[in-house]
Amino acid sequence: MKKAIIQVNNLVKKYGDFEAVKGISFDVMEGEIFGLLGPNGAGKTTTLEIIETLRKKTSGTIIVDGMDLDKEPQAIKNIMGVQLQAAGYYPNLNLKQIIALFSGLYNKDIDPMALLDTVNLRDKAKNKFKQLSGGQKQRFSIATTLINEPRIIFLDEPTTGLDPQARRNLWELIKQLRERGATVVITTHYMDEAEELCERVAIVDSGKIVALSTPNELIDNLLASGFKRSKAVKEANLEDVFLNMTGKEWRDE
């Protein structure tokens, strides 16, 4: 039986009189892909940044792998991999050098080329981050989360702005992370992505969780309420047509 590797209980975050997170509670099970979904400003990013130790909470408790966030924040950081944005990379270093630098910071003996192989970027090892395409940047960003061999990986909108090939291939990479034993927590605005990847999702709105279940159960509950689409759903969609005609292999601009 799976155990909860992240336990969030009655989490509150206030900025003056504004309450951004209003008593959120949820568990993330070990080895699952868990989605935190919601519109912009819903509180999901604030919630994740608190769990990642990047932002202070106002009240509530967070337990990560049996450790209290208030008491053991550094130990919790050591088992996490957090996807960095572009500003997190040194502009004058190439990809191989960036990995070597981060490996030293984590005191890990990592083969940069082997790590680049996992995201199909070996041929870009001598390129700087700014020279990569959008899909390549996202793949490298995910690769850097693996340097400290984390048990929990946080991915913030990992496929935003990518073409269909890059998006689908990143889905496969995220599934591989889970298959290697990692717990993955993602945010995304693409509901088809959440439905494809996530075992469970929490939908956040106005600082509160309004639903938490498997994608299938949430869809079945909506249908049971009498919901009907205005347009019949086909077995394939336009993205499937696009990929069938252009292929699913990695594309590098």
State the Cα–Cα distance between residues 244 and 233, nearest whole angstrom.
Answer: 19
Residue type, 199: E
DSSP designation for 140: H
The mean-pLDDT minimum among 11-15, 119-123, 193-197, 228-232 falls in 228-232
8 Å CB contact between 26 and 202: yes
Give 234-248 pLDDT, tens digit per residue: 788 778 877 887 876
Nearest to 19 by CA among 43, 55, 48, 40: 43
What pLDDT sits at residue 244? Answer: 82
Q: Please, which pLDDT band fits residue 84 given cuts at 50, 70 and 90?
A: low
Nearest to 137 by CA among 68, 97, 89, 71: 89
- CA separation, residue 124 to residues 114, 115, 116 (Å): 13, 12, 8
Tokens of 98: 């960036």
- pTM exceeds 0.85 for this model: yes
Show Cβ contacts of residue 177 under 8 Å, excluding neighbours closer than 6 positions. 142, 146, 153, 184
Tokens of 111: 């083969």
Phi-psi region of 30 (alpha: psi -120 to 50; beta: other; left: phi over 0): beta
What pLDDT sits at residue 64? Answer: 97
Helix (H, G, I), strand (E, B) or coil at 29: strand
Give 170-227 pLDDT, tens digit per residue: 899 899 999 989 999 999 999 999 999 999 999 999 999 999 999 999 999 998 988 8
